[in-house]
Structure 1
Amino acid sequence: MIDFSSDRPVHRQLADIIRADIAAGRLKPGQALPSETRLMQEYELGRVAVRQALAVLRSEGLVVTVKREGSFVRPAIPVERVAVEGPAEVSARMPSPDERRDLDIPEGVPVFVLSQPRKRQRILPADRILLIWDGDRLPADER
Structure 2
Amino acid sequence: MIDFGSDRPVHRQLADIIRADIAAGRLEPGQALPSETRLMQQYELGRVAVRQALGVLRSEGLIVTVKREGSYVRPQLPVERVIIEGAAEVTARMPSPDERKELDIAEGVPVFVLTQPRRTTRILPADRTILVYEK
- Is TM more than 0.5 here? yes
- Equivalences, count: 135
Match in the other structure for 1:3 = 3
Q: 1:83, 1:67 → 2: CA distance?
A: 38
Structure 1 residue 133, shift from structure 2 partner: 2.1
Structure with bigger gyration radius: 1
**Cα shift readout 1:24-56 (whole Å, capped 9, x = no counterpart):** 111111111000010001011111110000000
Provide the secondary structure at the position in 2 that maps to 1:26.
coil
Match in the other structure for 2:27 = 27
Stretches of 4+ moved more than 6 A in 1?
A: none
Provide the secondary structure at the position in 2 that maps to 1:124.
strand
Match in the other structure for 2:130 = 130
User: Which stretch shifts more, 36-45 or 2-11?
Assistant: 2-11
Structure 1 residue 96, shift from structure 2 partner: 1.7
Seq. identity, %: 81
Q: Any stretches of 5+ residues in structure 2 without a counterpart?
A: none
Match in the other structure for 2:105 = 105
Q: 2:90, 2:66 → 1: CA distance?
A: 32
Match in the other structure for 1:70 = 70
Q: Any stretches of 5+ residues in structure 1 without a counterpart?
A: 138-143
Q: 2:81, 2:64 → 1: CA distance?
A: 24
Structure 1 residue 101, shift from structure 2 partner: 1.2
Q: 2:34, 2:65 → 1: CA distance?
A: 12
**Cα shift readout 1:54-93 (whole Å, capped 9, x = no counterpart):** 0000001111111111101111111112222221011112
Provide the secondary structure at the position in 1 that maps to 2:112.
strand
Provide the secondary structure at the position in 2 that maps to 1:127.
helix
